[in-house]
Structure 1
Amino acid sequence: MPHEQLPPLGLLSVGGPLIDAGFEVELLDAEFGPMALSAIIEHAVAAQPDIVMMGHSGSTSVHVTIVELAGMLKQRMPDVTLIYGGVFPTYHWEDVLNECAAIDYIVKGEGERTTTLLMQALSTGSGLLEVDGIALRVDGAPFATPAAAMIEKLDDYRVGWELIDHSRYSYWGNMRAVVVQFSRGCPYLCSYCGQRGFWTQWRHRDPVKFAQELARLYREQGVELINFADELPTGSRKAWKAFLEALIAENVPLTLVGSTRTGDIVRDADILHLYKKAGVIRFLLGIESYDEAVLKNIKKGATTSEDQEAIRLLRQHGIVSMATYVVGFEEETDADYWRSLKHLLCYDPDQIQMLYVTPHRWTPYFPTVANRRVIQTDTRKWDYKHQVLATNKVPPWRVILWVKTMEVIMQTRPKAIWRILSGRDPAFAYAMRWYTKIGRRVWFHEVAEYLFGTRQIKNGPSLAKFWGASLHENEEALAKKKKKVIAIKASSVS
C-alpha cells in the first residue's frame, strides 16, 4: 500500500527493554522505500554497530531476504555479531544455523527478556549457555538452550516508541498509526495457525494501563489509528470490557481495528455498544470455511451459525465485518468453490479477504498434508496470498479465477455498494470506501503478478520432501509456569 506504513512492533518491543538495560539502540525500518539491500548495508556500515539484530513480519516469506542480508553484512563487517529472531527462526533454528554461517545467534520465542539477557551475556563474555531461549553453535554444531519461560506480566516490558518518528507511519487513509498488542496467544487449537504455539498461552496487559498508553500516544504523538496485532484481544470478556471502559474514560478520538473470533462477538452482544464508543470500526473475523467438517478437521472451534450471527451483530452496531476465507484446506472441486460463494453471499460480510492455505512446518496441520505436492518452491511467496499447494481436481489457474471472481462478486454486490454510498454512519462508510480503494489496487496487482510474474511448477515435491519432517511436536515455543502443588499428609484422629 503506497504511502501507508505501520511501525515494526516486534523490534520496538525488543528495543524498549534494551534501552532500559543501558544499551544504545537504533532502529532501521527497511520497509520504507522499501530499501535496497545495498542501501541497508551502507547504513549499517556507517552506524558501526557491535551487534545487528534482524527480524521480519510474517512467518516464512522474508527469511530468504534475511539470509541474503546476513551474508552481505558479514562480508562488509566480519566482526559484527548477527542475531535473528521471530517466528520462522524459532522453529527452524537448526536449519538456519546449519545453512547460514553469517547468523550467530537466534532468539526463540518472545524476545523482550531473552534478548536483554543475551546482550548482557555478550557484554560480559560469559554465561551464554545459561540464557534460556536461544540457539547458537557449540563446537561448530547447532545447539539450543531450554525454552525460555513466557512473560507472565506483559506490562513489565515497555515498547520503545522513541525509536521511531511517528509522523512517518500511517494507515486507514493517512491516519497516524501504530501497531499494539493487548494480549498474546490464543487458547483455541486451530491446527493451521502459525502463531498460537509461538506465544504458547493467552495473556493480557493491564487494561487500564494499556488504555492510558494509547491515550498518551494520541496526546503526545498525534496517533489516531490503533491496529491490534493480537490473535484474540477479546479473549477475556472481563479484561476486554475493562479496557474499553478505561479507553472511553480517557476521552480520546481513536479508531481501533483488529481481529477476533466470531464467538467472542456473539458472547459480547450486550456490550458491543462499548466497542463502538471506544472507537472500534472494524474486526477481521476468521470464517475460514463454510463446511462444518472442514472446521472440525482444522479444529477451528466455531460454527457457521455463530459466524453469521457475529456479522449481523457487528453491522447492527456500526462496526465493519471483514471475513477471511481460506481456500486449499482440502482437495476442493469447482462445485466446492461454487458452494463457498453461495455461503459467503449468505453470510453477507461487509468486506472479504480471500487467502490460500499456507502449511507451516511447526503446526499440527503440517503432517496432515505432508503428502500434498508443492507448486510454489519460492518461499518468498509463502505469505497466504499465493497458492503453494496443488489442488489436484482444480488446476492453479482455475483456483485463482474462482478466488478473484468471488472477490469481485462479494465486493460489488448491491448490498456492499449501498453500504459504501449510504453514508448513514460516516465512519462506517469511510471504512468501506477505504478498503474498496485498497482492495481494487491489490486485486489488479495479484492478477497481473499471476499472469506475468508467478512461476509455479507442475510436478513439485511433496510438502514433507520440500520442508522435511514435521516440527509440530515442538509447537509451543515457551515454557509454561509450573503449577505449584502442596501435598498435605493428615494423620487420623480418633
Structure 2
Amino acid sequence: MNSKKRILLVNPPHTAIGSRIPKEQLPPLGLLSVGGPLIDAGFEVSLLDAEFGPMTVAAVIDRIAAHAPDVLMLGHSGSTSAHDTIMRIAEGVKLACPGLPIVYGGVYPTYHWEDILRGYPQIDYIVRGEGERTTTELMLAWSRGADLAQVDGIALRRDGLPLATAPAEMIRNLDDYRVGWELIDHNRYSYWGGMRAVVVQFSRGCPYLCSYCGQRGFWTQWRHRDPVQFAKELARLHRDHGVQLINFADELPTGSRKAWLAFLEALIAENVNLTLVGSTRTGDIVRDADILHLYKKAGVIRFLLGIESYDEAMLQTIRKGTTTSDDQQAIRLLRQHGILSMATYVVGFEEETDADYWRSLKHLLRYDPDQIQMLYVTPHRWTPYFETVENRKVIETDSAKWDYKHQVLATARVPPWRVLLWVKAIEVIMQARPKAILRILLGKDQHVRHGMRWYTRMGRRVWIHEILEFLFSARLKKSTLTLRSFWGASLAANEESMLKRKRTIPLRASKTKGPDPAEQNPALRT
C-alpha cells in the first residue's frame, strides 16, 4: 500500500502576456485531470496554483518545502514558454529538498525529454503524452518499488543516461478518468469579466493536418467524451459551485456533428444558465448553419476561428484544410445568430513584405470579425512546419517568450520594429473601426455587448504592454543563429506522442482503494 503518499501538483507562475494582463485566473485543467485519477488511486493530492499573485519563484520553492510532499509534479499548459520557470523551480526545490522526486509533464517535455534529462539533473521523470493513466501508473509503480522502466509513456535515467520507455496508448474512453475539481476553490477563478469559470475538454485532438500545430500530434487522435455525461458534469459545476463560464480547451469540440449536437441538446435540457466560449474551425460553423440556433440556446457566446492567412496558397502550404470563403461565411453565420467571432491571424509564416501586411489588413476588414487576435508564428520542433523554416534566423532566444505574442523568427525584408508596428496597427484598426465600436455601444444582445467590452478593455492593456515591453526591455538582436542550430534537428518523426492501437487487456487504476501490489498492474499508461 502507498500509506497515503502525498503528491503536490504545482502550476507555475507564467510569464506570457496573456496570463499576466487579464487579472483573471482560469484553473489548470491539465493538473486537475491528473489529480482526479491520483486521488481515486489512493494518493493524497494537493494543488499549489502559483499563478495567483503571481508568486515569485522563491516563494513557490518555500511553499513546496513547507508542504514537504513525497512527490512533486510540475506542468503548465503554456509548455514551451513555461519551461524555463519550471526548471528554475525544480532546481531550487532540489537544493531545499534533495531527495524529493520531481515529475515533469506537458507538451514540451513530451518531445524534448532527452534534452531535459541530459541538461537538467533536477528532473527525475517525464510523463510523455496524456497524463491521467501514465502518471497514475508511474506513482503506483514508484510507491511499491517496482521497475519504473516497465511503465509505458515515461522518460527517466538509467546509468545516468536518458531512457524513454515504450509509448503509452492513448486513452480511448475519456470518461474513464475524472477531473479533480475538489482540488480548487471555485471562488478564486474567473474569466470574461468576473464570471466564475472553469476550463474543460469535450474532445481531444484534431483530424486535420495543420503543419504548424503543436497540439494535434500530442493528442494523437480525435476523441470525445460522452455528450450527455459531459453536459451533466457542466450542469453540476453550475449548480454545486456556481460556475457561470465554460472555457473549452479543445482544438475542435465540434469535430463530430452528431456528438456536438447531442451535447448541445443535453445541455439545453439541463436548463442551466451557462456561457460557453471556445475554438473551432470555420468549416464546422458552415456545416452547422442549420443548428447554430442551438449553439446560442446552449450558451455559446464566442468561438475563436483560426483564420491564420487570407492567402489560399498559404493555407494549402500549411495544410490548414479550410478556404477563405468558409472563413468569411462562418463569421457572417455566427453574427446572424448572436455569437461573437474572434479571428486569429498569424504573421511570419513566410518572408512577408510591407505590401503583404497591407493586403492582410484589407482582407481582415472584408472578413469583418467581431474580435481579432494577432499572433506571431512559433515553430515547434516536433511539427512538420519546423523543417520548412529550420534555416530561418531566430531573433528571440528566450524560450519564455515563445508564447505567440513575441516575434521569434526574423523576417528578412521587414525589420522587427516595423513588424510590430504593422501588427499593432492592424489590431487598433480592427478593434476601433466604426463597426466594432457600434457593436460595443448599440448591440442588441447584452451578452454580445459584454463580451465586446470585456475583450476591448483587456486587449487595450495587452496592446500597451507589448509596445512598452518592445521599447524598454531587451531588444531583439540581429542573429546568425538558425532555428535548427537553436533547437536542434526536427522531431517531426515522433509527432504522434502515443499509440492508437487497442490494448488487449484493459487496465485502470482502482477507484475504491489505494494501490495494492496484489491487485495493481505496474504497466499503466497516460
> Is TM (by shorter chain) over 0.5?
yes
Choose from 429, 438, 450 the match for 1:430.
450
CA distance in 2 between partners of 1:110 and 1:57 (Å): 12
Match of 2:252 in 1: 232
Match of 2:490 in 1: 470
How far does the alpha carbon of each residue in 1:436-494 deviate from its partner, in whole angstroms, 9 at most, with x for none? 1111111111111111114211023000000000000100001012599xxxxxxxxxx
How far does the alpha carbon of each residue in 1:189-227 deviate from its partner, in whole angstroms, 9 at most, with x for none? 000000000000000000000000000000000000000
Q: Describe the SS at the equivalent of 1:323.
A: strand
Choose from 66, 75, 80 the match for 2:100.
80
Choose from 259, 284, 291 the match for 2:304.
284
CA distance in 2 between partners of 1:252 and 1:16 (Å): 25
Amino acid in the other structure paired with 1:283: F
1:458 maps to 2:478: yes
Match of 1:304 in 2: 324
* Aligned counterparts, 1:75-474, within 5 A: 75-474=95-494
1:86–1:109 Cα contact (<8 Å) kept: yes
CA distance in 1 between partners of 2:219 and 2:23 (Å): 31
Structure 1 length-normalised TM: 0.97
CA distance in 2 between partners of 1:93 and 1:228 (Å): 28
Choose from 68, 75, 87 the match for 1:55.
75
How far does the alpha carbon of each residue in 1:32-90 deviate from its partner, in whole angstroms, 9 at most, with x for none? 00101111111111111110000012231110111111110000001100000000000
Match of 2:10 in 1: none
1:14–1:160 Cα contact (<8 Å) kept: yes
Give, in angstroms, the shift of residue 246 of structure 1.
0.2
Unaligned 5+ runs, structure 1: 485-494
Amino acid in the other structure paired with 2:203: S
Give, in angstroms, the shift of residue 429 of structure 1.
1.0
2:169–2:503 Cα contact (<8 Å) kept: no
Amino acid in the other structure paired with 2:202: F
CA distance in 1 between partners of 2:503 and 2:136 (Å): 26
CA distance in 2 between partners of 1:56 and 1:366 (Å): 22
Backbone CA RMSD of aligned residues: 1.0
Amino acid in the other structure paired with 1:326: V
2:22–2:458 Cα contact (<8 Å) kept: no
Q: Describe the SS at the equivalent of 2:47.
A: coil
1:59–1:194 Cα contact (<8 Å) kept: no
1:3–1:174 Cα contact (<8 Å) kept: no
Count of residues paired in the alignment: 484
1:3 maps to 2:14: no
Over 3 Å counting, the alpha-carbon distance change for 1:343 and 1:454 in structure 2 is farther
Amino acid in the other structure paired with 2:353: T
1:288–1:324 Cα contact (<8 Å) kept: yes
Amino acid in the other structure paired with 1:446: E
CA distance in 2 between partners of 1:45 and 1:397 (Å): 44
Q: Describe the SS at the equivalent of 1:377.
A: coil
How far does the alpha carbon of each residue in 1:280-327 deviate from its partner, in whole angstroms, 9 at most, with x for none? 000000000001111000000000000000000000000000000000
Amino acid in the other structure paired with 1:383: D
Amino acid in the other structure paired with 2:449: A
Match of 2:32 in 1: 12
1:107–1:133 Cα contact (<8 Å) kept: yes
2:334–2:340 Cα contact (<8 Å) kept: yes
2:249–2:278 Cα contact (<8 Å) kept: yes
1:26 maps to 2:30: no
Amino acid in the other structure paired with 1:397: W
Amino acid in the other structure paired with 1:104: D
CA distance in 1 between partners of 2:458 and 2:69 (Å): 38
Amino acid in the other structure paired with 1:56: H
Amino acid in the other structure paired with 1:53: M
CA distance in 1 between partners of 2:23 and 2:372 (Å): 23
Identity %: 75
Amino acid in the other structure paired with 1:298: I
Higher-RCO chain (CA-CA 8 Å, sequence separation at least 6): 2
Choose from 42, 59, 63 the match for 1:39.
59
Give, in angstroms, the shift of residue 176 of structure 1.
0.3
Amino acid in the other structure paired with 1:154: L
